[in-house]
């Protein structure tokens, strides 16, 4: 937390920067946008059983994007999928874009989420589950959000929202689905233990928008669809970003400005931001704790079926 605060103070301290940075306007108000500090192309990689994901955020971005641990854009067809595997110490957010994903866990929780639906799963002290595709083509995003040290061992919890539960708004050629947080004056019903904003934006050709983001939060965008040269972030003369790229924003300023410079195609991207935890992160695959000793304990708990993994020995998905 200390590093994050210092960084925010540092940016805030350079108050004269506000005057020379590019301004964007929205509803007759002026905003100063964060600039892009890093761009990451989400490369294809194998995960689960025969599944291929585009990993946009991985270990190399974890420091810059605390509290976020991973972002995968998945596209999976049966018989591939993500069979029985555990999680501890964080939350997974699954947002289906096409098709469906069926989830089963070791406590009997089961269900299928389809295009537009969200499953916000708090793994806490332990979940073992399978996540398998339902249709021929199944696409979406899975985001991993870290939990603070005092919430890593809480009871697992699910928040499931069908597409119709997700608040939507539109103004000046900009549509937003508010998966977490607030935009255009509307709020998501999701409770975020680690304060998080998760917005799905679609901009008509030529549209522009500014989204406010708290100064100390880390923020990034992931481009899902864009026309050639369409997706411009931070400053109206910045270089455009292609699909399947993560853009990481600096901290500070009022938020994030975006322009769809394409004259024919819509721009779709997600904007995700969160309050940094400022804690050490030790990750061993699907276990994320603060220290190596806690990881060793987790491997032992999983192996012997203790401290939340009691059903590990008996349960298999159907
Ligand atoms: C995982 C084994 C796994 N990206 N995107 C090991 F199966 C997984 C895993 C996933 C996943 C699931 C969905 Cl639905 C979408 C994903 C990885 O389940 F993360 C690890 N480490
Ligand atoms: Fe999982």
In a domain, 9, yes or no: no
**Whose alpha carbon is nearest atom 19 of ligand 1?**
286
> Closest Cα partner for 165 from 204, 128, 222, 117?
117
C-beta of 101 in contact with ligand 1 (< 6 A):
yes
Pocket test for ligand 1, best of 49, 85, 90 (most atoms within 8 A of CB): 85
Exposure string of 74-107, with b = 16+ CB inside 10 Å and e = fewer, is: bbbbeebbbbbebbbbbbbbbbbbebbbbbbbbb
**What is the position in ligand 1's atom list of the atom closest to the CA of 48?**
7
In a domain, 2, yes or no: no
The domain tally of the chain equals 1
In a domain, 318, yes or no: no
> Closest Cα partner for 188 from 158, 161, 217, 156?
161
In a domain, 142, yes or no: yes
Describe the chain by its helix, strand, coil percentages, rounded to 5: 10, 50, 40
**What is the position in ligand 1's atom list of the atom closest to the CA of 83?**
7
What is the span of the domain harbouring residue 153? 36-304
Q: Is 18 helix (H, G, I), strand (E, B) or coil?
A: helix
In DSSP terms, 120 is beta-bridged to: 93, 159
In DSSP terms, 189 is beta-bridged to: none
C-beta of 142 in contact with ligand 1 (< 6 A):
yes
Q: Are 217 and 236 in contact (CB under 8 A)?
A: no
Q: What is the reported pLDDT for 312? A: 86
In a domain, 205, yes or no: yes
Q: What is the reported pLDDT for 183? A: 98
C-beta of 160 in contact with ligand 1 (< 6 A):
no
C-beta of 146 in contact with ligand 1 (< 6 A):
no
In a domain, 315, yes or no: no
Q: CB neighbours of 175 closer than 8 A, spacing ≥ 6?
A: 168, 169, 201, 202, 203
**What is the position in ligand 1's atom list of the atom closest to the CA of 285?**
21
Q: Determine phi and psi for 287, rounding to 5 degrees.
A: -115, 125
How confident is the model over 94-153, as pLDDT tens digits?
999 999 999 999 999 999 999 999 999 999 999 999 999 999 999 999 999 999 999 999
C-beta of 73 in contact with ligand 1 (< 6 A):
no
C-beta of 85 in contact with ligand 1 (< 6 A):
yes
Cα(157)–Cα(308) distance, integer angstroms? 13
Cα(55)–Cα(245) distance, integer angstroms? 10
Per-residue pLDDT band at 9 (split at 50, 70, 90): very low
Average pLDDT over residues 182-197: 98
Q: What is the reported pLDDT for 290? A: 98
Gap from CA of 48 to ligand 1 centroid (Å)? 6
DSSP 275-290: -------EEETTEEES
- CATH number of the domain residue 240 falls in: 2.60.120.10
Q: What is the reported pLDDT for 87? A: 98
Cα(164)–Cα(183) distance, integer angstroms? 17
Average pLDDT over residues 45-72: 97
């Amino acid at each position: 937390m200390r590093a994050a605060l210092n960084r925010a103070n540092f940016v805030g301290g350079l108050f004269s920067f506000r005057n020379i940075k590019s301004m964007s306007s929205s509803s007759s108000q002026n905003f100063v946008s964060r600039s892009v500090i890093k761009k990451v192309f989400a490369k294809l990689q194998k995960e689960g059983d025969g599944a291929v994901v585009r990993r946009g955020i991985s270990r190399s971005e974890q420091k810059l994007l605390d509290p976020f641990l991973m972002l995968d854009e998945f596209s999976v067809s049966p018989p591939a999928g993500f069979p029985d595997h555990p999680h501890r110490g964080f939350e997974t957010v699954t947002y289906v874009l096409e098709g469906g994903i069926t989830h089963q866990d070791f406590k009997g929780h089961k269900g299928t989420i389809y295009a537009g639906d969200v499953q916000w799963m708090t793994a806490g002290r332990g979940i073992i589950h399978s996540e398998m595709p339902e249709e021929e083509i199944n696409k979406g995003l899975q985001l991993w959000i870290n939990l603070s040290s005092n919430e890593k061992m809480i009871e697992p919890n699910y928040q499931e929202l069908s597409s119709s539960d997700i608040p939507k708004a539109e103004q000046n050629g900009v549509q937003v689905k508010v998966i977490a947080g607030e935009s255009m004056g509307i709020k998501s019903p999701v409770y975020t233990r680690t304060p998080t904003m998760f917005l799905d934006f679609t901009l008509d050709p030529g549209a522009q928008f500014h989204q406010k983001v708290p100064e100390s939060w880390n923020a990034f965008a992931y481009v899902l669809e864009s026309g050639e040269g369409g997706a411009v972030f931070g400053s109206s003369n910045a270089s455009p970003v292609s699909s399947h790229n993560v853009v990481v924003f600096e901290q500070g300023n009022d938020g994030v400005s975006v322009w769809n410079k394409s004259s024919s195609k819509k721009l779709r991207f997600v904007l995700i931001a969160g309050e940094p935890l400022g804690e050490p992160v030790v990750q061993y695959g699907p276990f994320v704790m603060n220290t190596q000793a806690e990881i060793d304990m987790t491997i032992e708990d999983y192996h012997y079926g203790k401290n939340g993994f009691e059903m590990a020995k008996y349960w298999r998905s159907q």
